[in-house]
């Protein structure tokens, strides 16, 4: 996909402005020069640039691992629950008010409880990420299941489909595009929660940890390098989701 | 296979009010290989009638019999074709047609071969791997017909299948349907609100009254096929049916808003 030049105009101006501002301010703690950030980014496999806390790649992998676990657990719970709530009036009425009550609570508000319940460590971090990813996946799944046309289900029934066939061959594929959107949004939020979750005490690796660690040493250039890596990984994964959407679910956009 | 509709009635409950009577005292018998249309003013319950026969809705009273046996749920001897948007947009044309066959637990290969046969029957051989959104409205309905035929029912139930098409496409599909009907020897129960369509297609037309739908008259159409829409006999029957419909209004004591399910 080719993009027009105007797409790149603002980023280039921002980088130039940054460099100029860094020279004017002349305080690397407030705003480090670009030239102190790029060496870190250009050596992603080297632990020498990160104040002894592992290479950028090591930290990124640690973060991805945590997000993957939290995200997958969220999907594993939210998708079946969403299908149940989308299909059954009773389940919807039973659970909806509770979910609406929990949904506006920011994932980070769960941190103290997570620490109390699961102590310091992977379980707490995973829990925070799970909360972040859970609601977008759940709500989109419910919407997706409800958007399955009644005629599609009735056609299946008149063609001899049993309840199980209707679920697997009509409801699942019919709602899949919306569920996929939920997964994409859910992953985005999980990735955002990650950084804060990695600030929990006792964490020794991960991009979030790296940023906090750099802050403690007053190394703003490392903070910015960490932020750039977080942003780039976020974009890449979002692109993967979009590619999947285009590859598998283009029928939704093309269907009148 | 004979289809017998016995004294069928359907009421929709309305909270806090009298229930709405959609159909009342419908009795009808279809001989094997017969083409019967149900015609009536909108809201007369003709679609409801078809849905009850298909097993999608229950009757309040009365019953449906196939070869003398009461069917109270969906029967594989019948397949239904809906007005529009019934194809699965995530499946190719061919995979849409195999859907019903997949439900019968035959192997992949026989299912595919059967589907190809019916694809050929509706003249869409070149479109097997296309998706529904790539097809015109007329082609989509051909696929829907092939999909219904693929489960090899003896009775086809058709709910205004050409209602959303333009006049030309509609006429073409009517002709094709008659050819398919003659080739496959199905019994067809066809719901429409078009008098012209009903007279062109049917052996008999069942004219319903306004709600609650009752049978006003069953009109025999002895014209040989292919029928000429411009012939005097065609016009005479059409006029008679139109007359029945315009007179079918009853005293308007029952002008409530229809529930969505009607």
Tell me the pLDDT tens digit for each residue of A140-152.
999 999 999 999 9
Nearest chain B Cα to A252, which residue? Answer: B89
Closest to B82 (Cβ–Cβ): which among A155, A165, A254? A155
Chain B residues within an 8 Å CB radius of A170? 88
pLDDT band at A50 (very low <50, low <70, confident <90, very high): confident
Most confident range (mean pLDDT) of A34-48, A73-87, A189-203 is: A73-87
Contact B144, B118 (CB under 8 A): no
Q: What is the DSSP letter of B165?
A: S
CB–CB contact A251 B133 (8 Å): yes
The CA distances from residue A203 to A64, A196, A215, in Å, are: 14, 11, 15
Kindly tell me if the per-residue pLDDT of B252 is higher than 50.
no
CB–CB contact A160 B151 (8 Å): yes
Beta bridge partners of B78: B155
Query: Rounded to whole angstroms, how far apart are CA atoms B88 and A148?
Result: 10
CB–CB contact B55 A158 (8 Å): yes
Contact B49, B27 (CB under 8 A): no
Chain A residues within an 8 Å CB radius of B102? 165, 169
Q: Determine which of A158, A163, A180 to mutate to test the interface with B (most B C-beta atoms within 10 Å).
A: A158
**Alpha helix (H) residue ranges in chain B:** 46-54, 93-102, 108-121, 137-150, 167-184, 195-201, 232-246
Query: Rounded to whole angstroms, how far apart are CA atoms B198 and A166?
Result: 34
CB–CB contact B86 A169 (8 Å): no
pTM of the predicted model, to two decimals? 0.85
Closest CA relative to residue B80, chosen from B53, B104, B48: B53
pLDDT band at B254 (very low <50, low <70, confident <90, very high): very low
Query: Rounded to whole angstroms, how far apart are CA atoms A58 and A60?
Result: 5
Which part of chain B has CATH 3.40.50.300?
Answer: 1-77+155-262
Closest CA relative to residue A46, chosen from A233, A228, A222, A195: A222
Q: What is the maximum span of chain A, computed from C-alpha positions, in angstroms?
A: 75
Task: Give me the phi and psi of B212, to 5 degrees please.
Answer: -75, 135
What radius of gyration, in Å, describes the C-alpha atoms of chain B?
19
CB–CB contact A256 B147 (8 Å): no
**Alpha helix (H) residue ranges in A88-206:** 89-102, 111-118, 122-146, 150-158, 163-165, 172-197
Domain residue extents for chain A: 53-250
How close B48 gets to chain A, by Cα (Å)?
Answer: 14
Query: Rounded to whole angstroms, how far apart are CA atoms A143 and A164?
Result: 20
What is the assigned CATH class of domain B1-77+155-262? alpha beta
Residue-wise pLDDT for B139-161, tens only, equals 999 999 999 999 999 999 999 99
Query: For domain A53-250, is the CATH number 1.10.3720.10?
Result: yes
Query: Rounded to whole angstroms, how far apart are CA atoms A77 and A178?
Result: 16
Query: Rounded to whole angstroms, how far apart are CA atoms A5 and A100?
Result: 44
- Average pLDDT for residues A63-74, to the nearest whole number? 96
């Amino acid at each position: 996909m080719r993009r027009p030049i105007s797409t790149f105009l603002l980023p280039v101006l921002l980088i130039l402005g940054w460099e100029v501002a860094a020279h004017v301010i002349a305080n690397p703690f407030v705003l480090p020069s670009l030239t102190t950030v790029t060496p870190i980014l250009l050596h992603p496999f080297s632990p020498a640039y990160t104040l002894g806390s592992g290479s950028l790649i090591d930290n990124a992998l640690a973060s991805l691992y945590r997000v993957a676990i939290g995200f997958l657990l969220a999907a594993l719970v939210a998708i079946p629950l969403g299908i149940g709530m989308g299909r059954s009036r009773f389940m919807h009425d039973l659970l909806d008010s509770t979910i609406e009550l929990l949904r506006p609570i920011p994932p980070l508000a769960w941190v103290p409880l997570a620490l109390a319940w699961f102590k310091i460590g992977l379980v707490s971090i995973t829990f925070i990420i799970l909360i972040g990813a859970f609601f977008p996946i759940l709500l989109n799944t419910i919407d997706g299941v409800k958007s399955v046309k009644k005629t599609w289900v009735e056609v299946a029934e008149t063609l001899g489909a049993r309840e199980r066939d209707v679920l697997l061959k009509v409801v699942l594929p019919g709602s899949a595009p919306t569920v996929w959107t939920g997964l994409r949004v859910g992953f985005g939020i999980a990735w955002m929660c990650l950084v804060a979750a990695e600030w929990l005490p006792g964490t020794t690796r991960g991009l979030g940890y790296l940023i906090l660690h750099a802050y403690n040493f007053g190394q703003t250039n490392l903070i910015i390098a960490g932020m750039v890596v977080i942003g780039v990984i976020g974009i890449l994964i979002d692109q993967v989701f979009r590619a999947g959407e285009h590859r598998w679910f283009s029928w939704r956009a093309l269907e009148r | 296979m004979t289809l017998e509709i016995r004294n069928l009635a359907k009421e929709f409950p309305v909270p806090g009010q009298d229930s709405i009577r959609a159909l009342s005292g419908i009795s009808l018998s279809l001989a094997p290989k017969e083409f019967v249309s149900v015609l009536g003013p909108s809201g007369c319950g003709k679609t409801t009638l078809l849905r009850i026969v298909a097993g999608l809705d229950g009757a309040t009273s009365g019953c449906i019999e196939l070869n003398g046996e009461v069917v109270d749920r969906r029967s594989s001897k019948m397949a239904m074709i809906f007005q529009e948007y019934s194809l699965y947009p995530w499946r190719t044309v061919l995979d849409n047609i195999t859907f019903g066959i997949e439900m019968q637990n035959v192997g992949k290969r026989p299912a595919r071969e059967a589907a190809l046969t019916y694809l050929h029957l509706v003249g869409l051989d070149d479109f097997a791997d296309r998706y529904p959104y790539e097809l015109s409205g007329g082609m989509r309905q051909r696929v829907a017909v092939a999909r219904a035929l693929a489960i090899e029912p003896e009775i086809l139930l058709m709910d205004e299948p050409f209602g959303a098409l333009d006049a030309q496409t509609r006429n073409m599909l009517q002709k094709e349907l008659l050819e398919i009907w003659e080739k496959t020897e199905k019994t067809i129960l066809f719901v429409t609100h078009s008098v012209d369509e009903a007279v062109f297609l049917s052996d008999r037309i069942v004219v319903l009254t306004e709600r609650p739908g009752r049978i006003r008259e069953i009109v025999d159409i002895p014209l040989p096929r292919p029928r000429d829409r411009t012939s005097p006999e065609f016009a005479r029957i059409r006029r008679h049916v139109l007359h029945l419909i315009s007179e079918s209004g009853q005293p308007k004591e029952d002008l409530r808003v229809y529930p969505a399910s009607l």
